[in-house]
Amino acid sequence: MSNTKAWRLWPHDECLHCGSAVEVFTDAPEEMLTEDDEARCVECGCPGTVGIQDGGPDDCDDVAYINWHDEPDCDCEWCKAHPAE
């Protein structure tokens, strides 16, 4: 049986731009993520991707984090709608 990807809240991070809650698009088990899963802010919609920091040889301390979209010269729709201040 394969899992289907779905958006779910990720309580371990907050939006870099507005501080709101984060959700991730993943099929990983609860409390886990897969590197390069999509992420987004539930309030402003800022996009991001999941990164995984290696926790060592046994991988038991790997830490997931969000790589927030933060490119100063970006021409994507989100950046057009949210110009840098």
User: What is the per-residue pLDDT for 2?
Assistant: 56
Rg of the Cα atoms in the chain: 14
Q: Is 29 helix (H, G, I), strand (E, B) or coil?
A: coil
51, part of any domain: yes
User: What is the per-residue pLDDT for 48?
Assistant: 92
User: What is the per-residue pLDDT for 21?
Assistant: 96
With tokens 């949210």, the residue in question is 82
pLDDT digits (tens, 9 = 90+) for 50-83: 998 887 566 567 788 898 887 777 788 888 887 7
10, part of any domain: yes
pLDDT at 8 > cutoff 60: yes
49, part of any domain: yes
81, part of any domain: no
**Number of compact structural domains in the chain:** 1
Q: Are 27 and 12 in contact (CB under 8 A)?
A: no
14, part of any domain: yes
User: What is the per-residue pLDDT for 63?
Assistant: 84
1, part of any domain: no
65, part of any domain: yes
pLDDT digits (tens, 9 = 90+) for 10-58: 998 999 889 999 999 999 988 889 999 999 999 999 999 999 888 756 6
37, part of any domain: yes
pTM tops 0.75 = yes
